[in-house]
Amino acid sequence: MSAVIVGVAESDLGIVGPDRTELALQAQAARRALAEAGLTLADVDGLATASVEMNAPVLRVAEYLGVRPTYLDSTNVGGASFVSHVGHAALAIEAGLCEVVLITYGSTQRSQRSRVYGQAGAVRYEEQYEQIWGLPMPVGAYALAASRHMGLYGTTAGQLAEVAVAARQWAALNPVAFSRDPLSIEDVLASPMVCSPLHVRDCCLVTDGGGALVMTSAERAADLPGLPVDVLGFGEASTHYRIMSMPDLSSIPAAISAPAALARAGLSVSDIDVFELYDSFTITVLLTLEAIGLCAAGEGGAFVAGGRLAPGGDLAVNTSGGGLSYCHPGMFGIFTVIEAVRQLRGECGERQVTGARTALAHGTGGTLSSGATVVLGRQG
Amino acid sequence: MTMEQPYPAADSDSAPFWAGCAAGQLLIANCASCQHRSLYLRGHCPRCGADEPARQEASGQGTIYACTTVHRAPAAFRDEAPYLVALVELAEGPRIMARIDQGNGGEPRIGAPVTVDFRPGPADFVYPWFVLAEAG
């Protein structure tokens, strides 16, 4: 693949207040990312976005920004969407469909208190077989996966808590992370149970925030000021939508998308220096570590024990603090790519992974329903 | 204020399933072409694509595939919390989500046997609960 990422940015994060819209957050992030790339909105001829709240978001964002794209991608596969957008955009740039693609996301779900927890009234489609039972989604589906992992493999609540503790330790090194106070395994286990075995601190944050990525061709990037990051490989997959239809609760779509992305990059998982893995819940990380081949199926719990994912551990995972401690405005996928790019550029200050040259960003969407993986590399 | 609990919007695919529950039958699809059994009824087999798979009455026997206790319930279910929701693997193969009644104190371990029990739900629907077979 020959497309590159030349700009990344967040909008204001955390709690932005009740009077700001997700469009305003996206514009803020987009203009920051373009400025970093040495480009302006006038250069943009491709646009990709997804939204929790809005229909036809790519049209609304295009109008709001004032761009008239000839490449449009509204792919919505849940939180993984923006990782898919990167892969699609790379192919579009290589095919010559467009030259500068802007990928944006924004949400004000914390300030708007719009996070939905259960449904009321008549439930349509396949949801009618699930939502009638009072299982809150998505947390209930992830709790089912965690319960099975514990029952089949002997994974413990303390091992799941290790993931949240490691994320918090990384977040303490990230000035813009939302939750930076110390967190212990005991704190996680003592936090209120939501759906067993998942406690509140096994679950991602609910914050506001937005992000943007700017992609172009390697040729165009040669004339731009920054250090481009190569998109080396991409894969995506889906195995189901509702958790009742998931073929195997221990095998997530990352088991398909990550090997595809690594193969296209010509790399193996042991070649990767930094991993940014969607952490909607602690169990998501365990299942992803297994799916991408860092450990065998069922061994994720033992693998993360002893602070292995924390700063100074064997493996650099979720160096921003992740959705568990940095930010989680409804969908987190774009932030996995933002952090991966910054690590490869060496811009991460106290949390910088020394000498990082390759990174893998993985998004998981829905109820373990979709997976999208990109492999990124630093030039030179 | 007690919120209304959600109920199925029965459609041309699902209406026979809910009518089956009302009649004390758990209906699944059984493809004549490839013998694949699937949970929810639709006009084709999701494995081989054959038209109109046959309906089969499931035995109502199954095992716990995964199970969670809901502590923080959606508003309409708050009065019932904590309660068990499981994925049940039917003896015929498909998985179904259901509330679990512990019966005589059975533990909802993976593999624990359960039996369907049709119970009234909101809006005159009948829901397929499952009951743990035995204590211990």
Residues A255 and A196 in one domain: yes
Residue type, A213: L
Of A38, A20, A22, A41, the closest CA to residue A30 belongs to A41
> Active-site residue A326, yes or no?
yes
What is residue A116's predicted lDDT score, i.e. its pLDDT? 73
Structure tokens at A199: 């406690």
**Which position has the higher pLDDT, B133 or A137?**
A137
What is residue A223's predicted lDDT score, i.e. its pLDDT? 96
Residue type, B93: G
Q: Which domain holds residue A299?
A: 136-204+233-378
Quick: pLDDT tens for A294-343: 999 999 999 999 999 999 999 999 999 999 999 999 999 999 999 999 99
Q: Which residues of A touch B (CB under 8 A)?
A: 117-124, 126, 128-136, 140, 143-145, 147-148, 151-152, 192-198, 243-245, 249
What is residue A380's predicted lDDT score, i.e. its pLDDT? 65
Minimal C-alpha gap between A189 and chain B (Å): 15
Give domain status of residue A123, yes or no: no
Q: Do B66 and A136 touch (CB under 8 A)?
A: no
What does pTM read for this prediction? 0.97
What is residue B3's predicted lDDT score, i.e. its pLDDT? 77
Residue range A337-361: mean pLDDT, rounded: 98
Give domain status of residue A307, yes or no: yes
Please tell me the distance from the alpha carbon of residue A316 to that of residue A68, in angstroms, as a whole number: 39
Residue A21 has pLDDT above 70, yes or no: yes
What is residue B2's predicted lDDT score, i.e. its pLDDT? 59
What is residue B1's predicted lDDT score, i.e. its pLDDT? 45
Residue range A185-212: mean pLDDT, rounded: 98
Pairing of strands A193-195, A198-199: antiparallel
Residue range A68-80: mean pLDDT, rounded: 98
Residues A164 and A221 in one domain: no
Please tell me the distance from the alpha carbon of residue A206 to that of residue A266, in angstroms, as a whole number: 37
Distance of CA B136 to the CA centre of its chain: 23
Please tell me the distance from the alpha carbon of residue B33 to that of residue A47, in angstroms, as a whole number: 45
Residues A218 and A287 in one domain: no
B36, B47 Cβ separation under 8 angstroms: yes
DSSP reduced 3-state for B56: strand
Separation in Å, CA A178 to CA A167, B12, B58: 12, 47, 50
Q: Which of A195, A228, A261 is the last residue of a domain?
A: A228
- To test the contact with chain A by mutation, choose from B1, B79, B87 the residue with the greatest count of A C-beta atoms within 10 A, namely B87
Structure tokens at A170: 């990384």
Please tell me the distance from the alpha carbon of residue A298 to that of residue A50, in angstroms, as a whole number: 33
Residues A189 and A267 in one domain: yes
Please tell me the distance from the alpha carbon of residue A22 to that of residue A116, in angstroms, as a whole number: 17
Average pLDDT, whole number, for chain A? 97
Angle in degrees, 0-180, between the axes of helices A254-265 and A282-291, rounded to the nearest 10 = 50
Residues A243 and A213 in one domain: no
| Contact partners, residue B14, CB within 8 Å, separation at least 6 | A128, A129, B8, B40, B41
> Active-site residue A142, yes or no?
no
Residue A120 has pLDDT above 90, yes or no: no
**Which position has the higher pLDDT, A379 or A337?**
A337
Residue range A60-79: mean pLDDT, rounded: 98
Give domain status of residue A370, yes or no: yes
Q: Which residues pair with A371 in a beta bridge?
A: A237, A364
B4 shares contact with chain A (CB less than 8 Å): yes
Residues A166 and A56 in one domain: no
Omega of the bond leading into A259 within 30 degrees of 0 (cis):
no
Q: Which residues pair with B128 in a beta bridge?
A: B118
Residue A277 has pLDDT above 80, yes or no: yes
Where is B68: in which H helix or E strand? strand B61-70
Residue percentage of chain A with pLDDT more than 90: 96
A371, A238 Cβ separation under 8 angstroms: yes
Minimal C-alpha gap between A125 and chain B (Å): 8
Residue A249 has pLDDT above 60, yes or no: yes
Give domain status of residue A39, yes or no: yes
Residues A267 and A326 in one domain: yes
| Contact partners, residue A222, CB within 8 Å, separation at least 6 | none
CATH of B59-136, one of 1.10.3720.10, 2.40.50.840, 3.40.640.10, 1.10.10.10: 2.40.50.840
Buried b (16+ CB within 10 A) or exposed e, A258-296: bbbbbebbebeeeebbbbbbbbbbbbbbbbbbbbbbbbe
Tell me the Cα Rg of chain B: 16
Separation in Å, CA A84 to CA A43, A293, B19: 22, 20, 41
Residues A28 and A170 in one domain: no
B114, B103 Cβ separation under 8 angstroms: no
B65 shares contact with chain A (CB less than 8 Å): yes
Give domain status of residue A121, yes or no: no
**Which position has the higher pLDDT, A268 or A18?**
A268
Residues A243 and A296 in one domain: yes
Quick: pLDDT tens for B108-127: 999 999 999 999 999 999 99
Residue B60 has pLDDT above 90, yes or no: yes
Confidence class for position A213, pLDDT limits 50, 70, 90: very high
Residues A157 and A10 in one domain: no
Q: How many domains would you assign to chain A? A: 2
Domain ranges within chain B, ordered by starting residue: 11-57, 59-136
B15 shares contact with chain A (CB less than 8 Å): no
Structure tokens at A164: 């949240």
Please tell me the distance from the alpha carbon of residue A234 to that of residue A7, in angstroms, as a whole number: 19
Residues A220 and A263 in one domain: no
**Residue A224's domain is classified under what CATH number?**
3.40.47.10
DSSP assignment string, A241-263 = SSGGG-S-TT--THHHHHHHHHH
Residues A158 and A86 in one domain: no
